[in-house]
Amino acid sequence: MPNPFEEAAAKGLGAVKAVKGAIQGLHGVFNTLVQQHGEVSALLSRASVSDDSQKRLELWSKIRTELLSHEKGELEVLYPAYREYEELRYYADAHEKEAEQLAALIGDLDAIETGAAEWKEKLEELILTVKAHVEDEETRFFPEAAEIFSREQSAELDQKFKANKEAIAANVAH
């Protein structure tokens, strides 16, 4: 069972990040994505400090669902919109590479028993990769696009992204 405190802490970090994003001029879908970065980062930190294999397994199940549905939603909804603007295409390509890296690491972690020392090493690698993804998106990919996309466009993308992510999350095998 997910620990309600951890769920609340993850949501809390997500909410704090969303407010920060809005202050930085982000809007619509970008705020949703920043919020999810905060939530998954909090879950990753919890997994990183846990030595209990069962606890790790519970957290991992949630983390992989969150990461896979977030990335797929970005690939299917957000970045195709970037490709409509010449000046944003580079970011769509860069993100595709990051998404491949993340998917490979998630596959690696799935194949390792959560009680193994190797699992923790891989998790740390994933944490660094997620940090790099978050940094790239929040400091460059999102602010650049937030200046080009209208608020209406990013609100529409937000609706599409949320519906898409929910559908994917429901289909991600636990």
Residues near Fe ion (CB under 5 A) = 137
Which C-beta is closer to Fe ion: that of 50 or that of 145?
Answer: 145
Q: State the number of CA atoms in the 13 A half-sphere of 42 facing the CB.
A: 19
Q: Which residues contact 8 (CB under 8 A, 6 or more apart)?
A: none
Return d(Cα 27, Cα 142) in angstroms, integer: 9
Q: Which residue is nearest to Fe ion (CB)?
A: 137
Tokens 């929910």 correspond to 166
> Which residue type does 69 have?
S
Q: Do 123 and 44 contact (CB within 8 A), yes or no?
A: yes
- Smaller CB separation from Fe ion, 40 or 123: 40
Query: With respect to Fe ion, which residue has the nearer C-beta, 6 or 137?
Result: 137
Distance CA 84, CA 39 (A): 29
Q: Which is nearer to Fe ion, 77 or 119 (CB)?
A: 77
Maximum separation of any 2 CA atoms in the chain, in Å: 48
Q: How far apart are CA 144 and CA 92, in angstroms?
A: 12
| Minimum CB distance to Fe ion, residue 113 (Å) | 28
Task: Tell the smallest beta-carbon distance from residue 33 to Fe ion (Å).
Answer: 5
Which one, 39 or 137, has the nearer CB to Fe ion?
A: 137
What is the closest distance, in whole angstroms, from the C-beta atom of residue 141 to Fe ion in the complex?
8
118 CB contacts (<8 Å, ≥6 apart)?
A: 112
